[in-house]
Structure 1
Amino acid sequence: MHTTTGAFFDLARTVTVHARRTPEVTAVRGYDGTYTFEELDQRADAIAAELIRRGIGAETAVGAHLDRSRDLVAALVGIWRAGAVFVVLDPAHPPTRLAAIAADSGVAAVVSRHAPFLDDRIARIDPATAAASEPIIPTGPQSPESLAYIVYTSGTTGEPKGVGITYGNVANLLDGVRTLAPAEGEDGGNVLAPSFDGWLWSTLIPLMNGRGVVLADPRSGDGNVPLLNGEVSFVTATPSLLAANEPPAPKAGLRTVVSAGEACAPDLAARWAAGRRFINAYGPTETTICATWADSEAGDDPTTIGHPLPNYRVQVLDERLRPVPAGQVGELFVAGAGVGRGYHNRPGATASRFLPDPSGNSERMYRTGDLVRHRADGALEFFGRIDDQLKIRGFRVEPAEIEAAARALPGVRAAAAFAVPGPVGFVLSLAVVPQEEESHEPEGVRDALRAKLPEHLVPSQVMFLDDIPRTVAGKTDQAELVRLSRTAASPAFHARLTTPTQELVAQVWSEALDISVESADADFFELGGHSLIATQVVALLRKRIGLRLTMRQLFANRTVEALAAELDKMGEAQRPGA
């Protein structure tokens, strides 16, 4: 498969090439063990053979319902070796959402150990028992135009929206980012969730260059920390995750850090760029993960989103698709080899966002909805969105999807989702207007939404109002909602802190949440806490109290009083004679 720069990539067979050259080199390391390149090649062959025996190949979707394990990587390679379409079915997401994705993508088979949400007519393939006993030769994709994967993002209609990316798109991306590959003998790290397309980027860049990929342990709240502390030489993380951790010393082994998924603050970029290559990457899912970047190694300013990758072109246009004058803000349009096929089963949405390039070269361009301007040095500066779309911890969040799920709950008349600036990125919040005489609790609403939505779409804060505030133009007043949420997070009544452990917990929460926590009944999530801040809290408490607190314990003990009691109980259990 040739890219626009003439490089040759055969994504279905590259692992085999490395398996023959360096069979004993570790290709994947996860919490469930390792695969050498030879073992990964054999496991991928077995999965591909199972698919081919069932007549599954090009343009046929295959789900991968596996956690962040070595078998998920084997499933990816096996599905691509059969020439089929990779669709992540993240086990961390609610079964109803997974069933909707499986139905929309039309998966013909699912690689999984256990997937009770599936229709009985869909074939199941256990990655551990798949066998290539018959002499079946994997075919790989028939054309660069064949679909390689469909990734589902938050949708404005209230349902997840699938974005289709081709094998040619992926090959051209990998060609454009070859310099990110770790050096021989070094590994890349993957700290991202499988439902985030950055998981593919973090897996493929090392793997396709004959290097190993180390997957963060999903069972541990601090599973990302070793990978950010120098265990690997290359890692990609969201700014929220970087902000929740301290960068290692320049000589620790972490040579390249890529920030992606949301805007990166200048002070955060400066912290992580010291002594290493730092890249601020930008790219919608629709343009194959990354379209532009600011690379410190090339002298770029990492507070910008830099310049387009070699196989991409960008234009800054006005509402009539005319180029804006130099230095003025306009909407960013991306063209070139990375522009995906479009939205799966949504021709209308595809036509509205994937437009003919006005330059007349018969290519398409993607309308990003992002506001930017070209600086004098040619770098792009990001200024925000033209619509209500949010980015929470790197994930695309459409407020309409959360609002639709909230309005469907019994006793809810209206709802508005919004983002509140926090110490580690933005905090997703929800204002709910109950029907008359209906009573709700914040955690009850969160639990009900958690049954429908993935965790990144579940608001950390829920507040109840008589009406949704509106601007004079009749739109939701976001600024007023932010003000009200901050008022709601500071209760008038405080249960006094009565023990040294309560005071320690309140102090750590105050530092991590960047607010004053003075009440024993203060609730971590109602104060704006989320998983990344929780990681920081757990690390700080471990350091200061010397106990192996877990994320699970923090989530189960949401108030200062409850968490302090849990820590006291842990301390008692460790005393001699207990």
Structure 2
Amino acid sequence: MAPDRPEQRLLHEAFLWNVERDGSAEALRVGGESISYGRLHERALRLAGGLLFHGPGTAGEPLRVGVLGARSEDAYAGLLAALYTGAAVVPLNPAFPPERLRHMIGAASLDGLIVDDKGMSLLPELADALDGVPVVHRPTVPALDEPLPSFPGDIAYILFTSGSSGRPKGVPVRHSNVVAYLRQIRARYGFTCDDVFSQTFDLTFDLAMFDIFAGWGAGGTVVSVPPHVYVSLPDFVARHGITVWFSTPNMISLVRRGRGLERGSMPGLRWSLFCGEALLVQDAARWQEAAPNSRLENLYGPTELTISCSVHRFDPERSARLAVNDIVPIGAVHPRLPYLLLGAEQDGDGTGELCVTGEQMFSGYLDRADDAGRFLDHEGRRWYRTGDLVRRVDGGELAYLGRADHQVKIGGFRVELAEVESGLRRLPGVRDAAAVAVDGRLVAFLVGDERPVPVLMKELGSFFPRYLIPRHYEYLDDLPLNANRKTDRPELTARARALLSS
């Protein structure tokens, strides 16, 4: 008989409970292989034994263990293994350039590194950064008997986000932060052991923690989704019995180009969740038609607020009415997270920078110098400044307007790039669009049927003032995406500079 489920205090405790409940149940499906809870647990214990055998770090200090792997069994087991030793997990993506990996390894001060076969092949290029760091690949030493104790205030994982200085910023997230988030998720979605979760995100992206630990916390199955299946996604979803889909909105356009969004093509989905970028109303509507039995939600939140902090339930009519620049609202902030809109009083229309505090907020960056300008002290509390501009809309929800740092000055006028992109997407034949500003000039990147620039500018002029109309255009097969499947704006900015200098 399975034990009574205790209150979760640590990130990995729900996984352990499901090992006890039914170790033969399927925890993971990756590369066509089915991996049970029991097998993954045993693999994690063996990797944890290897970590401790080769050196547990400085006595009295928490370990920080990197996992250099690419969605393999060893990479998933590595996440658990690090947690089993009481360490903070530091996921590392083998697809990242060696220079970036070296910086992440140094910034995290790793005490150990778990690698899969792909990660193992990169070790020669990382040798200087790993000097003195024990590396565990296929340990032959005894497995750890059982997970070592951890505490809610300990760091569960460290993720790196892009920094304005050009170097990644380390974000340490505590067990208490992520357990508070998972408590909110369980209450909202009611996931069960019958659910099958998509896993579209690389392990360095915090949204992957939703798939993995919400899935394992419910006793469900997590299915790693390889990129090549997007051209025939309905077949993949049906074959694997996926019931919970979670991805960035950019995936919708990839599926659409593969003619995968035919009406009713994914009837088995019961939840369709999107996060990480602005979700367009027309994309959400197309997905909803393809997955008519699912409830579609738009999640929002930076890594610093632990995965997501607000949510909007999509409704074709209401969401379109509340949308700003054709972007689905980000909805209501979670009940246990106080928020304020900085500058809303001065703006006058309920628009301001979203600031949030509460149990999901991290305590500060690994490098405390990165804290500068990211926090607000107000009414005796510390608030995280998201850098996102939002507006209050009917029903107490929030509409997303864009990044505060995506506001630019063009000819003395304040321009929101999201508004420019919304107008570009209205043009006939345009399937997707992005805009950047370089030296006070707007550059538009379009995906779709190529048409003459004067025609585009004339059509934009029918609803835009002159200062909102880009003078420079480039057609692309697809908008470039970064490792987290978000639009790669630094890449577009570099292309824009090259275009303007040619």
User: TM-score band (shorter)?
Assistant: 0.7 to 0.9
Q: What's the CA shift for 1:296?
A: 4.2
**Structure 2 residue 331 is matched with structure 1 residue 330:** no
Instruction: Choose from 379, 388, 397 the match for 1:359.
Output: 379
Instruction: Choose from 378, 402, 409 the match for 1:384.
Output: 402
Distance between the aligned counterparts of 1:215 and 1:225, measured in 2? Answer: 15
Residues 49 and 138 in structure 1, CA contact (< 8 A), matched pair in contact too: no
Instruction: Choose from 57, 70, 87 the match for 1:84.
Output: 87
Distance between the aligned counterparts of 2:166 and 2:423, measured in 1? Answer: 21
1:254 corresponds in structure 2 to 269
Q: What's the CA shift for 1:326?
A: 7.8
Query: Helix, strand or coil: the match of 1:355?
Result: strand
Structure exhibiting the larger radius of gyration computed from Cα positions: 1
Q: What's the CA shift for 1:261?
A: 0.8
Moved more, 33-42 or 244-253: 244-253
1:289 corresponds in structure 2 to 307
Residues 189 and 227 in structure 1, CA contact (< 8 A), matched pair in contact too: no
Instruction: Choose from 130, 134, 138 the match for 2:147.
Output: 138
TM-score calculated relative to the size of structure 2: 0.73
Q: What's the CA shift for 1:68?
A: 1.7
Query: Helix, strand or coil: the match of 2:394?
Result: coil
1:93 corresponds in structure 2 to 96
Query: Helix, strand or coil: the match of 1:213?
Result: strand
- State how 1:394-543 maps to structure 2 within 5 Å: 426=433, 476-479=439-442, 481-482=443-444, 513-516=447-450, 527-530=475-478
Question: Would the alpha carbon gap of residues 123 and 421 (structure 1) be closer, same or farther in structure 2, given more than 3 Å must change?
Answer: farther
Question: Would the alpha carbon gap of residues 224 and 116 (structure 1) be closer, same or farther in structure 2, given more than 3 Å must change?
Answer: farther
- State how 1:31-430 maps to structure 2 within 5 Å: 31=31, 33-53=33-53, 54-56=55-57, 59-112=62-115, 113=117, 114=120, 115-118=123-126, 119=128, 120-127=130-137, 129-130=138-139, 133=142, 136-142=145-151, 144-178=152-186, 179-180=188-189, 182-217=191-226, 222=231, 226=235, 231-245=241-255, 246-247=260-261, 249=264, 252-274=267-289, 275=292, 276-296=294-314, 301=319, 303-318=328-343, 327-345=349-367, 347-356=368-377, 358-360=378-380, 363-388=381-406, 426=433
Question: Would the alpha carbon gap of residues 527 and 86 (structure 1) be closer, same or farther in structure 2, given more than 3 Å must change?
Answer: same
2:3 corresponds in structure 1 to none
Structure 2's unaligned 5+ residue stretches are 1-5, 321-327, 409-420, 453-473, 482-502
Deviations 1:186-218 (A, max 9, x none): 310111222221112121111111111000125
Distance between the aligned counterparts of 1:241 and 1:386, measured in 2? Answer: 25
Query: Helix, strand or coil: the match of 1:177?
Result: helix
Q: CA RMSD in A?
A: 3.4
Q: What's the CA shift for 1:327?
A: 4.5
Q: How many residues align?
A: 412
2:19 corresponds in structure 1 to 19
Question: Would the alpha carbon gap of residues 155 and 135 (structure 1) be closer, same or farther in structure 2, given more than 3 Å must change?
Answer: closer
Residues 45 and 144 in structure 2, CA contact (< 8 A), matched pair in contact too: no
Moved more, 6-15 or 183-192: 6-15
Q: What's the CA shift for 1:16?
A: 2.3
Equivalent position amino acid for 1:240 in 2: N
Question: Would the alpha carbon gap of residues 325 and 377 (structure 1) be closer, same or farther in structure 2, given more than 3 Å must change?
Answer: farther
Question: Would the alpha carbon gap of residues 234 and 267 (structure 1) be closer, same or farther in structure 2, given more than 3 Å must change?
Answer: same
Equivalent position amino acid for 2:287 in 1: W
Question: Would the alpha carbon gap of residues 51 and 126 (structure 1) be closer, same or farther in structure 2, given more than 3 Å must change?
Answer: closer
Deviations 1:32-64 (A, max 9, x none): 623200001111111222223322496332111
Question: Would the alpha carbon gap of residues 58 and 138 (structure 1) be closer, same or farther in structure 2, given more than 3 Å must change?
Answer: farther
Question: Would the alpha carbon gap of residues 226 and 73 (structure 1) be closer, same or farther in structure 2, given more than 3 Å must change?
Answer: farther
Question: Would the alpha carbon gap of residues 295 and 384 (structure 1) be closer, same or farther in structure 2, given more than 3 Å must change?
Answer: same
Moved more, 367-376 or 180-189: 180-189
